[in-house]
Structure 1
Amino acid sequence: MSGAPFDADGLRAAGRDLAVPFQVQLTDGRLLQMQRLLRLLPGKRIAGEASLDGRRVFAKLFVAKAGERHWQAESEGVGALAAAGIPTPEVLLADRLQGGGHVIVSSFVEDAESLAAGWARLDAPPAGDPGALEVLAPVLAMLAQMHRAGLAQRDLHLGNFLRTRDRLLVIDGDSVTVAAAPLSAVAAAENLGMLLAQLPAAWDGAAPALLADYQSAGGIAGVDAAMLCAAIEKVRAWRLQDYLKKSLRDCTLFSVVHSTSRFVAVLRTESERLADVLAVPDKAIDTGLRLKSGNTCTVAQVALPGGDVVVKRYNLKSVGHALSRLWRPSRAWHSWREGHRLALYGIATPAPLALVEERFGPLRRRAWLFAEHCPGVSLARHLSPESPPPAAEALALTTLFALLCRLRITHGDMKASNLLWHAGRIWLIDLDACTQHRSEAAWRKAWRRDRARLLRNWPADSVLAAWLDRALPPA
């Protein structure tokens, strides 16, 4: 390992430019060797796998000058968990760093998987899926134990739980709150709602059953289904707005570069893979497989390492059209936000990967949207007008549109080619006109248009059109 060891000043100055492995000087003279970074908040916090005295450990570095309170909160939170008998990794060292920072080193949990990773492997399980319930059941039991002890987490999510072959552990002591034991019903409902709000919105109907599992494990008895559902709705609304704001600013999840001539937002995990095509997006379109050539947009499928990407360029078809778009957010901008909105609700849509806008100061010109490629087949080709849809497709259709209507979301262009059947789900593409309506009246008016357009994809006297007319929510 080359290079001088870092102190807190050096870690703050490095920002995101930290290449592993690197060493950190501890106050007792020992060297902590950081091997793999799992979280990096530039100038503030660094967490990851490390080695100390030849032992594999997990290290959290608090390098901000005002980071002492987070370090203290982490130490106190882990202590509160341990005192309540909640399994959590053992703290091996809690100390200051040279240069004004702090460090906490804990034992490394071997052969462990976060429950967030376990959930992701299930690949969007339907509500009530047995495999998904197996993931959730131990978390609900752990929350019941924490709530009885007066403990909760401010930033509760599945990534805060590690599962080994024979036990479940809670991590992230920094977000642990301590109250009089047991928690009040209101506090317990809010904390449980924070977790369940992160499940796909289609799981909302399973909330009463999940609440029953929580209470059967000793959870707070005063929590009822109405309280829990209200908490889920409140937290999800906050998470949605927070996430949509993050999608347009530089943060842990997104890399955003804004100049007088360009605006670029990209998923940080995709920034390196997409770097070349983001630099010259027209070249990617010219060399890719052309899917659509039109006055208002041009679409191409581009082969890249790690999977194909669909690039959609929003053209300016005339001087008048260009002038009309100068001050308004581009359709790419709108599709970028709506794609993230649908994904957060658990509605299948190709993941939006990057957004590029040409700018002239505050004025907007052409724009490009980059999304993952969905290899599905359009419903126009997949469904026969002479028969009802097969059982799986029928369930997917009724589930999707019931959820869209409950959330007051309309697509705006319900051509059958904009609905793809893939991996047992219906995927929505072309989100240029997708909208979540604030009022019931606005949604109902738009839903009538969406519903009528969907039915027009097949002959009015066809079996499929008649089935859809019966199965879809009423206009």
Structure 2
Amino acid sequence: METGYIKNMLHNAEEISWHTLYHADRNISAPFHLSLSDTDKHFVAEKVIRIIPGKRLVAYGMFGNQPVVAKLFYERRKASRHALRDTLGVDALISSSVPTPKLIYKGTAKQQRIQILIFERILNANTLEEIWQKKSDSEEITPLLHAIILELATQHVLGILQRDLHFKNFLIANNKIYTLDGSDIKKLHDRLSKKESLDHLALFFSQLGVGHELLRESLLTTYINARGWNLQYSEIHFLNQAYAKHQKKRWERFQKKITRSCSTYFCKNSANDLVIFNREYQSNSLIEFFQHPDAIFQSSQTEILKDGRSSTVVKTHFDHHSFVVKRYNIKNIWHWLRRRFRPTRAAKSWRLSHYLYLMGIATAKPIALIEKKFWGLSQHSYFLMEHVPGIHIGEYFSLYDKNNPAFSEIAKKIIELFKHLASIGLSHNDLKMTNILISHHKPIIIDLDGMREHRSPTSAMKRMKKDIVRFMRNWENNQSVHQLFENIIGETSWKT
């Protein structure tokens, strides 16, 4: 029996049709409801959380009086197949006693063309992805990661393979780990082989990003102890190769995602302009900025951070958020002709800032890319990023006190940052003071359009050593800070 609250929601929510779902692209808003073919209960959608246009939708809502998560499948001729694949994956988890949200309804809408799976909603829960992104330090969630590694080892012994393993597929609530997304589950006839297991483990490790070598070693020890293994050198070599392979594949997939419309990003590419932005920040004022980006540079409420020939940088506000806009200027006709067939500097900043984000290297969060075109060729380009509160390292170390260990810790983190960049094949090429900010006790690298991409970490490391020579010139008038960095560089065996 449905309560008055549910009846009121039903009254306010229109019933959605297959035609509306199939042709709506991403323009589906809640609330809406579905009448089901073999029950008097309705599914009432309260919030759409994911859409793959023309194929499927995931939404929070109510089923009777119960909070649920529903998956709607509506692709032509394939909806039943995809719903069945998801159901079989859930059945495999349940038969192996792997915790997963309970499937409480499977069937069709009364219109028949919509397949629907309804799961209990685990309240007060977070995915591993959410926990990992919100952490202040990896040590605080190390116990959780070890617990998940033990869960993964158990699944491998049971012959459970998550084909598209990622952090969003683990849900944590009340110290319990749930595995999500039956569509990615494959049940093997026997336990995973050592090679399959190590490859899958490498996929998990690749999502930790760079700078977590000790953590990976610790998690590997937990895993091999759980499996009762001793690894040979050749097997460790295979694991490292698989790790590099999965890192590369993750970036290749992510690179495509940030240049097209998807759940996270909106993209419009026409003869007149290119606009890509993070949907999380969508607002009327942001849309107005996309239409007339130069107007922001004339606003009395805009703070000019840099006004140079090659670029103009300002700080501004949209809907209670602080942003920095960098406009890349065209110096003259010859400058435009030289760059006309190359990716814009804004596009390079957009791509590399996402690369750093994916690899766990701190930089200003990318929000939008804009390119204004003439006859299909780029003219001005703009890069919108989240404002990073903090001060640059020149200001920070002007207060240097050798008796305060915080300065030494920050200096070590800066040198680690350089090594992390080199480990993913990048060198910055402009390590002046203002391009490294200190925010929330950690260094943030900015101004990425001059970065160099190298064929290998080895060549990047060679170039980064030259960058460090430039970096050390920042401290020519502050010998105590210069000596601090010299000592740290010497301790890391990365001498210039």
Match in the other structure for 1:55: 66
Rounded Cα–Cα distance in structure 1 between residues aligned with 2:190 and 2:480: 60
Q: Look up the equivalent residue of 1:252 and give its one-letter code.
A: S
Does the 8 Å contact 2:419/2:461 carry over to 1?
no
Partner of 1:322: 336
The answer to whether the Cα contact below 8 Å between 2:418 and 2:464 also exists between their aligned partners in 1 is no
Q: How does 1:410-429 map to 2 (within 5 A)?
A: 410-429=427-446
| CA deviation string 1:352-385 (max 9, x = no partner) | 1100001124311000000011122111121149
Partner residue, 2:26: 16
Mapped partners of 1:412, 1:424: distance in 2: 24
- Distance (Å, rounded) in 2 between the aligned partners of 1:386 and 1:392: 12
Q: Indicate how the Cα distance of structure 1 residues 474 and 361 shifts in structure 2: closer, same or farther if over 3 A, else same.
A: farther
SS in 2 for 1:431: coil
TM-score norm. by structure 1 comes to 0.93
Q: Tell me the CA shift for residue 184 of structure 1.
A: 0.6
TM-score by length of 2: 0.89
> How many residues matched?
471
- CA offset digits 1:92-123 (Å, max 9, x no partner): 12213425231111222233222222222214
| Aligned-residue RMSD, C-alpha | 2.2
Cα displacement string for residues 45-77 of structure 1 (whole angstroms, at most 9, x for unaligned residues) = 111212122322221111111233321111000
Give 1:274's match in structure 2, choosing from 286, 294, 303: 286
Aligned: 1:404 with 2:421 = yes
Which residue pairs with 2:171 in the alignment? 162
> C-alpha separation between the residues in 2 aligned to 1:90 and 1:284?
50
Of the three residues 67, 77, 89, the one matched with 1:77 is 89
Alignment-mate amino acid for residue 344 of structure 2: S
8 Å Cα contact 2:412/2:488 also seen in 1 = no
Aligned residues with identical type, % of pairs: 28
Q: Distance in 2 between matches of 1:195 and 1:441?
A: 25
Matches within 5 A, 1:221-240: 225-240=236-251
1:26 correspondence with 2:47: no
Which residue among 369, 390, 402 is the counterpart of 1:355?
Answer: 369
Aligned-partner residue type, residue 70 of structure 1: H
* Letter in structure 1 aligned against 2:452: T
What is the CA-CA distance between 1:178 and the residue it aligns to? 1.6
Equivalent residue number for residue 256 of structure 1: 267
CA contact under 8 A between 1:419 and 1:426: conserved in structure 2? yes
Does the Cα contact within 8 Å between 1:185 and 1:222 map onto a contact in 2? no
Aligned partner letter, 2:482: A
Letter in 1 for 2:79: G
Corresponding residue number in structure 1 for 2:8: none
Aligned residue for 2:474, secondary structure, equals coil
Quote the residue 2:495 is aligned against.
Answer: 474
Give the secondary-structure state (helix, strand or coil) at the position aligned to 1:201: coil
One-letter amino acid of the structure 2 residue matched with residue 55 of structure 1 = Q
- The reply on whether 1:394 has 2:394 as its aligned counterpart is no
Map of 1:134 onto structure 2: 143
- Is the alpha carbon distance of 1:253 and 1:220 closer, same or farther for their aligned partners in structure 2, counting shifts above 3 Å? farther
Find out whether 1:365 has 2:379 as its counterpart. Answer: yes
The aligned counterpart of 1:451 is: 468
Please tell me whether residue 342 in structure 1 is matched to residue 356 in structure 2: yes
Taking a change above 3 Å as real, the CA distance of residues 372 and 440 of structure 1, as seen in their structure-2 partners, is closer
Task: State the 1:470 CA deviation.
Answer: 4.6
Mapped contact 1:418–1:429 kept (Cα < 8 A): yes
Give the corresponding residue for 2:3.
Answer: none
Where in structure 2 are there 5+ consecutive unaligned residues?
1-10
Distance, in Å, in 2 between the alignment partners of 1:219 and 1:109 is: 33
Query: Does the 8 Å CA contact 1:291/1:301 hold for their aligned counterparts?
Result: yes
SS of the residue corresponding to residue 271 of structure 2 reads coil
Which whole-Å CA distance do the structure 1 matches of 2:335 and 2:175 have between them? 62
* Equivalent residue for 1:201, pick from 207, 210, 227: 210
Q: Which runs of 4+ in 1 moved over 6 A?
A: 385-389
> Matches of 2:415 and 2:326 in 1, distance apart?
29
Give the whole-Å Cα distance in 2 for the aligned partners of 1:461 and 1:382. Answer: 12
1:351 Cα deviation after fit: 0.6
Structure 2 distance, partners of 1:141, 1:211, is 10
From 108, 119, 123, give the equivalent of 1:96: 108
Report deviation, 1:181.
2.2
1:285 and 2:302 equivalent?
Answer: no
Larger mean CA deviation between 334-343 and 377-386 belongs to 377-386
Distance 1:326 1:446, change over 3 A: same
Query: How far is the alpha carbon of 1:82 from its aligned partner?
Result: 0.5
Question: 2-side partners of 1:54 and 1:444: how far apart?
Answer: 59
